[in-house]
Amino acid sequence: MPQVPIIMPQLGESIAEATIVSYLVKPGDTVEADQDIIEVETNKANMNVVSPSRGVIEKLTAQIGESYPVGAVLGEIQVSKEDAHRSGMDTEHVDKVRSDAKHGTTTENGKTSQARVQPTVHGLPVPAHAAGAGYISPRLKARMNELGLHAADLAGVAGSGAAGRVTVEDFEKYIASLEKQKLTPASSMRIAVADAMRRSWTRPLATVGMPVNLDPLLVHRKAQANKPGPALYALRALALALSENSAPAGRLVGSNIVHPSSIDVGFAVEADDGVLVPVIRNADKQKLAELVDRYNKLVELARARKLPADATGGSIATVTNYGTFGLTIATPIPLPEQTILLGMGAGRKSQRWDEKTEKFVPVTEAHLTLSFDHRVLDGGAAGRLLGRVIYLMMHPQEL
């Protein structure tokens, strides 16, 4: 009977490898085509590798806790000729897969073993010139590359060279001092967040803010059978505002502003040791009530790190509700591939002047912030966009 290899698939546009978390089957088990058989972790989420065909698990060769590149052979499935043909796994195709996979093998003492890779972070094509030391010599760069460090990691190193430059000797002393301290490995998600924020910070970023009266929103929410959260109101308002003028969400590439082709808006969800950003596609084309179930489901999947591939990446803006942590105002950083990020603080009772009654009246108020790439937007344009979002949130019937 033919033996079909289990291959590490391409789990996302920018994902080059994944780490084996657990096996969902064992050798000897009968599996169906497209059945989940291996749980893996990428820098974005936990995902599953599926069986390429119906058959019996012959062997599982990948080691739990190790990372493997896309295309690596993780095991073998014994299949019938009929199932192999039905799944498109004819002899010629299987031989090609094995041939391609051999590029990822190493030979030691006459034994061939599947090559592993060190976990890395592969982001979107945004310049990654991290800030840190003003000048790094070629020798120091080589040493840092050897250890997998970035220029931003030198922020805590006091340089003894000319004009405060960090020398190789300074660097080695710093590394030696770190080894004497308690060290714990950073998770793949924490590394991914660090990489994204480092790349984001290569741009000139600014933040504007305005208060919003939440009382109309709270009244509207109370009347809904399926109640949207405040962040979903903000997401829908931002999507409508950007559908009216997409330029604020454009990206500057060279001398051109690249406008988004669709209004796909992400929202931040806190997960273990990091933040995930599920994406609602075409958020401007769906009514608020239609988005509630999808939003709640994505929150649940994000917290379990089970987001599907079609719900990650490619968003043009993000909404974050930092008010859930009791914060009233913050200056969050947009993702590297995005120009704007809308933040929402915690609601608080405050006094607002009413022109009609000429009295101060109590209202539930929260601060909204809009962080943006200052190369694309100026304060006036950012303020007008934020003002439009606030208007829509105060008129929730339009959402």
**For the residues of 273-317, what is the DSSP string, one character each?**
TEEE-BEETTGGGS-HHHHHHHHHHHHHHHHTT---GGGBS--SE
Place of tokens 């399926």: 226
If one compares 89 and 289, the residue with the highest pLDDT of the two is: 289
Question: CA 265 to CA 285: how far, in whole Å?
Answer: 12
In this structure, are 179 and 212 located in the same domain? no
Instruction: Report if residue 128 sits inside a domain.
Output: no
Pair type for strands 340-344 and 359-373? antiparallel
Do both 269 and 153 map to the same domain? no
Show the domain range for 153: 138-183
For strands 265-267 and 317-320, give the pairing.
parallel
> Residue 350 has which token pair?
């405050």
pLDDT tens by residue, 340-360: 999 999 999 998 888 888 899
Q: What is the pLDDT of residues 30-45, one digit of tens each?
A: 999 889 999 998 866 7
Q: Are strands 274-276 and 348-354 parallel, antiparallel or unpaired?
A: unpaired
Mean pLDDT confidence for 293-298:
95
Mean pLDDT, the chain, rounded, equals: 84
Amino acid at site 27: P
Q: How far apart are CA 337 and CA 124, in angstroms?
A: 7
Query: Does residue 285 or residue 151 have the better pLDDT?
Result: 285
Residues in the chain: 399
* More confident call, 352 vs 102: 352
Domain termination site, one of 124, 158, 183 = 183
Same domain? 26 vs 170: no
**Same domain as 370, residue 268:** yes
366: its two tokens: 């929260």
Confidence tier at 336 by pLDDT (50, 70, 90)? confident
Residue 305 has pLDDT above 70, yes or no: yes
| Cα(196)–Cα(207) distance, integer angstroms | 18
Residues 6+ apart with CB under 8 A from 185: none
Q: Quick one: 232 and 376 in the same domain? A: yes
Q: What is the pLDDT of residue 13?
A: 62
**Selection from 375, 378, 392, 367 nearest residue 242 by Cα:** 392
The verdict on 254 and 388 lying in the same domain is yes
The C-alpha atoms of residue 342 and residue 232 are separated, in whole angstroms, by 12
Instruction: Report yes or no: 360 and 366 within 8 Å, Cβ to Cβ.
Output: no
The count of other CB atoms within 10 Å of the CB of residue 201 is: 14
Cα separations (Å) of 212 from 330, 344, 365, 375, 381? 15, 10, 6, 27, 18
Which distant-in-sequence residues (6+ apart) come within 8 Å of 117 by Cβ? 16, 17, 67, 68, 69
Measure the CA dihedral 168/169/170/175, to 10°: 90
Beta bridge pairs of residue 69: 17
Residue 18 CB: number of other CB atoms within 10 A? 31
Residue 113 has pLDDT above 50, yes or no: no
pLDDT band for 126, please (50, 70, 90 cuts): very low
Over range 17-25, report the average pLDDT.
91
DSSP class per residue in 100-166: HHGGGEEEETTEEEE--B-------S------S-S---HHHHHHHHHHT--GGGGTTPPP-SGGGPP
More reliable by pLDDT, 108 or 152: 152
Can you give the pLDDT at residue 319?
97
Say what the pLDDT of residue 114 is.
52
Same domain, 305 and 170: no
> Does one domain contain both 214 and 318?
yes
State how many domains the chain has: 3
Within a domain: residue 283?
yes
Q: State the DSSP code for 72.
A: -
Is residue 147 one of the residues assigned to a domain? yes
Residue 118 confidence (pLDDT) above 70: no
Residue 31 in domain = yes
| Domain CATH code at residue 164 | 4.10.320
pLDDT band per the 50, 70, 90 thresholds, residue 135: low
Question: Which two three-digit tokens encode residue 340?
Answer: 């704007």
Query: Position 43: which residue type?
Result: N
pLDDT in tens, 69-100: 888 999 999 998 887 777 666 555 555 555 55
How confident is the model over 190-199, as a mean pLDDT?
81
Q: Is 190 contained in some domain?
A: no
Q: Are residues 231 and 171 in the same domain?
A: no
Rounded to the nearest 10°, the torsion over CA 354, 360, 366, 370 is 50
Q: Is residue 74 part of a domain?
A: yes
- pLDDT computed for residue 192 by the predictor: 80
SS3 350: strand
Is 235 a member of any domain? yes
Q: What is the pLDDT of residue 37?
A: 94
Is the alpha carbon torsion for 260, 232, 13, 196 positive or negative?
A: positive
Task: For the chain, give the percent of residues with pLDDT over 90.
Answer: 47
223 and 354 together in one domain: yes
CATH number of the domain encompassing residue 364: 3.30.559.10
Contact by Cβ (8 Å): 245, 260: no
In terms of domains, do 391 and 281 share one?
yes
Quick check: 165 pLDDT over 50? yes
> Residues 6 or more apart from 217 whose CB is under 8 A from it?
230, 233, 393, 394, 396
Residues 173 and 288 in one domain: no
- Residue predicted with more confidence, 303 or 136: 303
Q: Look at residue 120 and tell me if it is in a domain.
A: no
Please state the separation of Cα 376 from the chain's center in Å. Answer: 22
